[in-house]
């Protein structure tokens, strides 16, 4: 079974600064996807970024980037130039590449961006 762990229940950052959210996972599989989702107060779940395990290059999406360390089973999210609208719950998620597999989430990290 796969597990995803987010060890930081809450974090805060000042506007315009950089913050890193941590995620570790456990699996015996070699082919999988990793995701970060954002859930703002509206409760809508929004995909932030995706990483394929077979790719060595870290994914980036504008101000969002990941540090994917496959051997360490670590997948952290870096948010640069934090904005007030980044305030949300952030979830790390895992899915093996077998067609039709389950999507497993971590516990979430509540990020607050302060003005």
Residues making contact with other proteins (CB under 8 A): 33, 35, 42-45, 47, 50, 91, 95, 97-108
- Least Å from the CB of residue 105 to other proteins: 4
- Least Å from the CB of residue 1 to other proteins: 10
Q: How far apart are CA 108 and CA 100, in angstroms?
A: 24
Number of H helices, E strands in the chain: 0, 12
CB nearer to other proteins: give 84 or 103: 103
CB nearer to other proteins: give 42 or 57: 42
CB nearer to other proteins: give 82 or 109: 109
- Least Å from the CB of residue 49 to other proteins: 10
Tokens found for residue 91: 């979830």
- CA-based end-to-end distance of the chain: 41
Q: For 11, how many CA atoms within 13 A lie in the half-sphere containing its CB? A: 23
CB nearer to other proteins: give 33 or 64: 33
- Least Å from the CB of residue 28 to other proteins: 18
List Cα–Cα distances, 28 to 2, 9, 52, 78, in angstroms.
8, 26, 16, 26
């Amino acid at each position: 079974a796969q597990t995803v762990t987010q060890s930081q229940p809450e974090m805060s950052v000042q506007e315009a600064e950089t913050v890193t959210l941590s995620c570790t996972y456990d699996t015996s599989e070699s082919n999988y996807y990793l995701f970060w989702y954002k859930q703002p107060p509206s409760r809508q779940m929004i995909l932030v970024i995706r990483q394929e395990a077979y790719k060595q290059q870290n994914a980036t999406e504008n101000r969002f980037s990941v540090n994917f360390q496959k051997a360490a089973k670590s997948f952290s999210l870096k948010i640069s130039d934090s904005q007030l609208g980044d305030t949300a719950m952030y979830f790390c998620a895992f899915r093996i590449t077998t067609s039709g597999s389950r999507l497993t989430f971590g516990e979430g990290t509540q990020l607050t961006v302060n003005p």
